[in-house]
Amino acid sequence: MPRRCASGSRNSPARSNRCDEPAVTGHDEGPASGAAPAVEMQRLHGASILFHWFALLRSGLFPLVLVALQSRTRGGDWLLYGVGGLLVLFAAGSIARFLFTRYGLGPDAFLFRSGVFARQSRVIPYDRIQSVNVRQSALQRLLRMGELHVETATQGSAAEVVLRVLRWRDAQSLREHLVAERRGALGAREAPASDATQGAAGAPVEEAAESTVIATVDVEQLMVAGATSNNVGVLLAVLFSGFDRLRSSFFAELDFTGLLAGSLVSVTDAIGASWALALLVLLVIVPLVVASWMVSVAGSVVRYHGFTLERVGRDLRRSHGLFSRVQASVPLRRAQALRFHQSVLRRPFGLGELRLVSAGSAGGGGGASSGGLQVLLPILRRDEVSRFVPVVFPDASLDTLLAAPIDDAAWTRPKPVAAVRIALASTVRVLLVVALVAAVWPEWLGRVAWLLPLVWGLAWMRRRARGIAVVDGHVVVREGGLARTMVILPERKLQLIEVRQGPLQRLFGVATLRLTTAGLGGDADMVDLALAEARSLQDDLTARLPRTLRHVSASNVSASHASVPRVSGPVSLHREVLPDGV
């Protein structure tokens, strides 16, 4: 572990006077008398050279293979020499990257330096760190290595600092140290007087935070999550796309389309069109669907195997992965909203996925994150959502509201004319598609006409699914059609409240109420409210917003240390630790 200031504790006056501007060194020498103490800068593990070299090879593998094949067919040995030169260049770049990448722990900030020709130096104050995540790929797990990601509140697409590669135990130790430093820095900012007294007494930076397991997901439920995800269609498209690319690259001279068409004609002539169609479904379509379904199930199990969600101090931490292991955390104070999504396949079973919208997330997390959305539970029953909300927002009490039907008086609904507006907008898009199809295949015009009644039915369904309610300082928004989404936003997290009207909305006297938070993916739209209702909600929420921002309730802080719910059943939740009224 890198050494820090040798004298004093974090909050002692002596230390603060001597460590304001730490000197940075690359060796173990202590600071000279009267000089600022040095911060020892550490290198990554030597294996990072190989990992970076392999990463470069993987990114350029396909072009290198093509060049090598072309050189053998055309007798150009100079191409092979060029490939060899690139491999040597990759190796030299990996070694240089290792030599010029350093990190260290300053008295008040995490330091990171990288770059060979273009140098970068980053100083991240501990109280600005949002989350510290550790991950392991399959190869890293085999070699007991790992990588550490440090994220702040910036809304970039990647973590501010990524340390590849560290020993796994060193990555975990560094993660715990940074989390403790962040916790201590935040505590010093919130209670400077108390912390100064503790620092003078020589107290440690922060005691180890107690860990409370909130939920675990077993393999059976992960299989259900994979089977009910919408990945089957995507996998089928990938299979067809991959087959077409393989054919065009290596078997371009073979006419697979003509061969398949000829075979179908021969089979149809022999056994009839009905039997030929049945054989096509049984021998081609069904195996492809089953194979895609199995891949989806296996992918869910591999990605989320051993999924555990726990509370560590004021952070939520999740760990999962069969081959590539991920341990990611997010501070609860960064939580902006909860988003519960039910796909078309999950909704009939009352299942969905719960995600947390956090401020400034880089979207890391081994496939469990996207933008500011962090997967809290990959599969959860609809009736368990209300029991889980207090884990993230302790002052929320939404049991009655979430259990109420959408027609209940607590919900503000769009006007019935909203279904007409939705249907008209969708009809225009469908007519454009029909016109394109009719231009190519005129005989199909009658076959796609049935889409219009379907569009109007879906428009009515979307209107019925929508609703907004404001209860106990929280806004709940429901939306969707065949798939449903529910967003829960605390009023104190709202950054912008606006009313919008498009041309058709102005014609029908309706508007869209948009609620914006500081997290990517944390926006919620209530579409086609009556204009007067939208403006009334806007005025009410805006009037309470300044008071909410000024008032960070003490009860909210103390509630963060209360007993934490766990979700029951296959998604394990310990009901004996549920807080009163949940």
Tokens of 121: 């130096």
Quick one: pLDDT at residue 402?
A: 87
What count of other Cβ atoms lies within 10 Å of the Cβ of residue 173? 13
Q: Are 391 and 469 in contact (CB under 8 A)?
A: no
Output the tens digit of pLDDT for each of the chain's 582 residues.
Answer: 444 443 333 433 333 333 444 455 554 444 444 444 577 889 999 988 888 888 887 776 656 666 665 555 555 566 667 677 778 888 888 898 899 999 999 888 999 999 888 888 899 999 888 888 899 888 888 889 999 999 887 655 577 889 988 999 999 999 989 988 888 887 776 665 444 444 433 444 444 567 889 999 999 999 999 888 866 665 555 555 555 554 544 444 545 555 555 666 666 666 666 676 677 677 777 777 787 788 888 889 999 999 999 998 888 889 999 988 888 888 888 889 999 999 988 999 999 999 998 876 555 455 555 556 788 999 999 999 988 899 999 888 888 888 888 778 889 989 888 888 888 888 888 778 777 777 776 766 666 667 778 888 888 888 888 999 998 889 999 998 889 999 999 998 888 899 999 888 888 889 999 998 887 666 888 988 999 999 999 999 988 875 545 444 333 333 343 444 444 444 444 333 333 333
Tell me the residue ranges of DSSP E strands in 274-314. Answer: 308-312
* Single pTM value for the model: 0.71
If asked whether residues 49 and 79 sit together in one domain, one would say yes
- Using alpha carbons only, how large is the chain's radius of gyration in Å? 29
If asked whether residues 501 and 560 sit together in one domain, one would say yes
Instruction: Give domain status of residue 43, yes or no.
Output: yes
Query: Whats the size of the chain, residue-wise?
Result: 582
Look up residue 359 and give its DSSP letter. Answer: B
Q: How far apart are CA 287 and CA 293, in angstroms?
A: 10
Look up residue 450 and give its DSSP letter. Answer: T
If asked whether residues 360 and 376 sit together in one domain, one would say yes
Which of 304, 327, 355 corresponds to the end of one domain? 304
If asked whether residues 333 and 366 sit together in one domain, one would say yes
Tokens of 578: 């549920």
Quick one: pLDDT at residue 201?
A: 38
Which residues are CB-contacts of 123 (< 8 A; sequence separation ≥ 6)? Answer: 106, 109, 110, 111
Instruction: Give domain status of residue 137, yes or no.
Output: no
If asked whether residues 286 and 371 sit together in one domain, one would say no
If asked whether residues 388 and 426 sit together in one domain, one would say no
Look up residue 103 and give its DSSP letter. Answer: E
Look up residue 106 and give its DSSP letter. Answer: -
For residue 69, the enclosing domain spans: 13-129+165-208
If asked whether residues 524 and 564 sit together in one domain, one would say yes
Quick one: pLDDT at residue 4?
A: 45
If asked whether residues 32 and 92 sit together in one domain, one would say yes
Which of 139, 174, 208 corresponds to the end of one domain? 208
Quick one: pLDDT at residue 218?
A: 92
Instruction: Give domain status of residue 135, yes or no.
Output: no
Q: How far apart are CA 360 and CA 522, in angstroms?
A: 11
Q: How far apart are CA 290 and CA 237, in angstroms?
A: 14
Quick one: pLDDT at residue 250?
A: 47
Instruction: Give domain status of residue 221, yes or no.
Output: no
Count up the domains in the chain and report the number: 4
Instruction: Give domain status of residue 108, yes or no.
Output: yes
Closest CA to 364 of 110, 48, 133: 133
Instruction: Give domain status of residue 36, yes or no.
Output: yes
